[in-house]
């Protein structure tokens, strides 16, 4: 009898349909006839039903209101990021850039989409794949490339390099895996403490998602309802290890357990924008933190020293480049919707190319820092708060601030 009941219960149990977030960069739709002639007037774009997966929340609407100007700016931003990263790649191979260098080619939609959903008063902190975020937060191409080259006019005066870039509203660029996540929670706490209606994006990669400090930050953020968005950029590989070989649970947006989560098509800048705006509204309305997962892909290796082909096939990379590219996806749509003509789009490409090329040239011409102790020790303390001296490696290297 018990066996029969068990079989009967099994038969009537509802089926759970599993849905996977797409990485199709051109999955959105709009009625071309509804696109206004005015550049600043918004119209409705219907995102794919596979743009999001939610956990403990309803999730954002798939109807995005956007203007022609916004679409053109998002396209230009992504093209500029890619052109800048390609310039960095070239300079590194020419041995003009030394040390670590992590490029975000293929992941441009995440940085651009987030920036178009927030304000300059919101805060962002990320790991070492940070050049695109620095640019979106207001840094110039020249200051970023000059920093990579170790020049005095770099964004960190040539002392930070690829992994340490900072500007207003952007707290880096951090080299220690996962360490920026609790710092991001602290920045979010500051926003709440100061009574500011702003959120903080604390970004990290799938490779950093298993760090203990990430879960400690989750706990504190939920305990105090901190307005912070823990955003995992899941590009499928942590260095050379695939996500399913390193993580028991690869649904990173569910990792918060008691924190709502949202998985997003990170190759579609429009989906990223919509999801990021939703997450911001959630966190600043007193509901506490959110965990996001942007499903994306990097075309290059983990860093410049990694060819990126020993743990994945060339065919896989080529398939993503040819079918899922965020820039080509948006390009296809803005042409399809009549936002710009082919000639106008070529002009946007030319403007981005000219901007980056000119800025790179200026960065290469910028002077290197003077090799003096004064330059070396000048940025450790806020001016006026320096101690009497700073110890060097030896007694002779001790630097006296007020000598």
pLDDT digits (tens, 9 = 90+) for 189-222: 999 999 999 999 999 999 999 999 999 999 999 9
- Residues sharing a CB contact under 8 Å with residue 401, sequence separation 6 or more, in sequence order: 377, 386, 387, 388, 389, 390
Q: Which CATH number fits domain 32-365: 3.40.50.970, 3.30.390.50, 3.30.1360.120, 3.40.605.10?
A: 3.40.50.970
pLDDT recorded at residue 89: 98
pLDDT-derived band at 81 (thresholds 50, 70, 90) equals very high
Beta strand 228-234 with 200-205: parallel, antiparallel or unpaired? parallel
What element of type H or E holds 241?
strand 241-242
- Residues sharing a CB contact under 8 Å with residue 199, sequence separation 6 or more, in sequence order: 118, 122, 123, 188, 191, 227, 228, 229, 279, 280, 283, 284
- Of 36-50, 291-305, 343-357, 373-387, where does mean pLDDT reach its minimum? 373-387
Residue 357 tokens read as: 């090329």
Q: What is the mean pLDDT of residues 149-177?
A: 96
Mean pLDDT of the chain: 94
User: How far out from the chain centre does Cα 354 lie?
Assistant: 24
**How far are the Cα atoms of 160, 207, 212, 377, 398 from residue 386, in angstroms, in the given order?**
21, 38, 34, 10, 14
pLDDT recorded at residue 19: 54
Q: In this model, does residue 373 exceed pLDDT 50?
A: yes
Find where tokens 């399913």 sit: 244
- Triad 317, 318, 323: Cα angle to 5°: 105
* Pair 354, 341: CB distance under 8 Å: no
pLDDT-derived band at 165 (thresholds 50, 70, 90) equals very high
- Residues sharing a CB contact under 8 Å with residue 393, sequence separation 6 or more, in sequence order: none
Q: What is the mean pLDDT of residues 315-338?
A: 97
Q: In this model, does residue 14 exceed pLDDT 80?
A: no
* Pair 126, 174: CB distance under 8 Å: yes
Strand partners, 45: 64
The pLDDT tens digits of the residues spanning 127-159 come to 999 999 999 999 999 999 999 999 999 999 999
Share of the chain above pLDDT 70, in %: 95
Q: What is the mean pLDDT of residues 112-126?
A: 98
Annotated domain spans of the chain: 32-365, 371-402
pLDDT recorded at residue 392: 86
pLDDT-derived band at 7 (thresholds 50, 70, 90) equals very low
pLDDT recorded at residue 126: 98
* Pair 366, 148: CB distance under 8 Å: no
Nearest residue to 23 (alpha-carbon basis) of 49, 58, 51? 51
DSSP 163: G
Beta strand 228-234 with 290-295: parallel, antiparallel or unpaired? parallel
**How far are the Cα atoms of 12, 167, 185 from residue 102, in angstroms, in the given order?**
52, 19, 24
> Exposure pattern of 152-166 as b/e (b: 16+ CB <10 Å)?
ebbbbbbebbbbbbb
Q: In this model, does residue 11 exceed pLDDT 90?
A: no
pLDDT recorded at residue 120: 98
């Amino acid at each position: 009898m018990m066996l029969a009941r068990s079989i009967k219960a099994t038969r009537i149990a509802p089926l759970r349909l599993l849905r996977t977030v797409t990485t199709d960069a051109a999955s959105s739709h709009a009625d071309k006839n509804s696109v206004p002639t005015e550049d600043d007037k918004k119209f409705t774009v219907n995102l794919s039903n596979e743009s999001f997966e939610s956990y403990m929340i309803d999730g954002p609407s798939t109807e995005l209101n956007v203007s022609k100007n916004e679409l053109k700016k998002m396209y230009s931003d992504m093209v500029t990021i890619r052109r800048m990263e390609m310039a960095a790649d070239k300079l590194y191979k020419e041995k003009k850039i030394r040390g670590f260098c992590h490029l975000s080619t293929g992941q441009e939609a995440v940085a651009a989409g987030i920036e178009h959903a927030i304000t300059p008063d919101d805060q962002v902190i990320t790991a070492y794949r940070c050049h695109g975020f620095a640019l979106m937060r207001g840094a110039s191409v020249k200051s970023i490339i000059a920093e990579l080259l170790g020049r005095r006019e770099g964004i960190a005066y040539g002392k930070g390099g690829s992994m340490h870039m900072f500007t207003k509203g952007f707290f880096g660029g951090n080299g220690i895996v996962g360490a920026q996540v609790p710092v991001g929670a602290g920045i979010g706490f500051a926003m709440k403490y100061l009574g500011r209606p702003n959120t903080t994006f604390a970004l990290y990669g799938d490779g950093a998602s298993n760090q203990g400090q990430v879960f400690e930050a989750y706990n504190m953020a939920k305990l105090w309802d901190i307005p912070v968005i823990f955003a995992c950029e899941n590009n499928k590989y942590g260095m050379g290890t695939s996500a399913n070989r390193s993580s028991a649970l690869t649904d990173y947006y569910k990792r918060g357990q008691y924190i709502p989560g949202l998985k997003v098509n990170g190759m579609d800048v429009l989906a990223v924008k919509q999801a990021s705006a939703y997450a911001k509204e959630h966190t600043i309305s007193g509901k506490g933190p959110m965990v996001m997962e942007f499903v994306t892909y990097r075309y290059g290796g983990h860093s410049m020293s990694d060819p990126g082909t020993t743990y994945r096939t060339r065919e896989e990379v080529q398939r993503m480049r040819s079918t899922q590219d965020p820039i080509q996806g948006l390009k296809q749509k803005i042409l399809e919707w009549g936002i710009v003509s082919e000639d106008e789009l070529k002009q946007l490409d030319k403007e981005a190319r000219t901007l980056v090329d000119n800025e790179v040239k200026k960065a290469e011409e910028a002077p290197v820092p003077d090799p003096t102790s004064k330059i070396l020790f000048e940025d450790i303390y806020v001016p006026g708060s320096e101690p009497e001296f700073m110890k060097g490696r030896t007694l002779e290297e001790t630097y006296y601030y007020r000598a």
